[in-house]
Amino acid sequence: MIGSLLPPSGVTPLNFSPGPTSLAAEVQTSIKALFDAERMCSMYLSHRSPEFLDILANVVQRCRMAMNIPEQYEILFMHGGGHGQFAAVPLNLCPKGDEKATYLVNGTWSKRALSDASKYCRPIVVSSENTDGTFTHNPSFEHLDPESKYVYLCSNETVNGIELHQLPKLSIKAPLVIDASSDFSTKPIDWLGSNVGVLYACASKNIGHPGLTLCVIRKDLLGTPSQLCPGVLCYTTNAREGNLWNTIATFNVEVVNIFMQWMIAQGGVHEMERRAIAKSSMLYDLIDKSEGFYSTPIADPSIRSRMNIPFDVAGGDEETTRDFLIQGWEQGIVGLRTLTPFGVGKYLRASLYNGVSVHQAKVLADFMAGFLKTYRTKDSAA
């Protein structure tokens, strides 16, 4: 069973999909109001109109405020998603094409980023991949090549359930480049202390809809892109043109603006982190106390993802897992098993992005506890 995202008629969906996924109910209400207001919706608003320029200025300001982004950084809204940034990073930071760049590989997406980067730079690979192809820990941050133009990492690996809850402070001077697509806005970032050079985040997990990538670039890294870098991926070009080198995704930008306004009103990034800890702790506590009925591949609590919790049911037994998914679907719980570019593995995933409330996470935890109790009652009766 792959897992439909449409529950039975009349049942409210609780979306735990790894993305694209839902936004908070209040944010979705504000988005719907864009189409009811007596003004032209940003979906069909000229990107160079004064009305949209006001939206753009507001979203840049709110992103900076919500995430404490220093003035030393440009904030860009780009196309191409994370895959576009896999190429954009070396094309912007390695102008000759043969420069060294260290890639810290701790999961599926950093491994994929490495594959694309190898076309545009000379990657130095530091990987934690196990012999069976799995990832259950982070690579070492020590003894990195000091000649690296940058050090690349993915701060939350959605498939593997590994997260860096704090960015490392490296011993070399190379700037950090961070794929924060699935954890941006869920925890504070020490931009200067961790020597962040570039951070990018696809909008569709925590801050908006598919089709927009937020990129934060330290200004001193602008100005020397590769001659092969296309304008649509060029940080220097897009910064110089004020995010308007080509037609920006106007509606998606306004959605991020609405989200950031909501996030600030909720208490900001520290409140988002508190909720992330509360939601993930509920599920991990249940898994750890289930005496093996549920299990997760990441044993070290210090690197367990708060965003994406992989878990199996009854050791991966397919019949029991199918019953679990169907019973959850009947109650509106969807998105625990979805197709990925890598197929369907042993583990289900509960994704707990900003759009999932603490109450919704508790509904999932209560369902899992009830399913476990029923299974054990049947097992003891047999």
User: What residues are labeled active site?
Assistant: 109, 179, 205
Task: Measure Cα distances from 30 to 40, 76, 255 in Å.
Answer: 15, 23, 9
DSSP labels, 219-262: GGG-S---TT--GGG-HHHHHHTTT-SS---HHHHHHHHHHHHH
Residues 6+ apart with CB under 8 A from 333: 7, 14, 16, 363, 364, 367
Q: What is the dihedral of CA 352, 353, 358, 363, to 10 degrees?
A: -40
Q: What is the dihedral of CA 211, 85, 237, 100, to 10 degrees?
A: 180
Q: Which amino acid is at 109?
A: W
Tokens of 228: 């092969």
Element (H, E) at 327: helix 318-330
d(CA 309, CA 75): 30
Cα separation of the two ends of the chain: 26
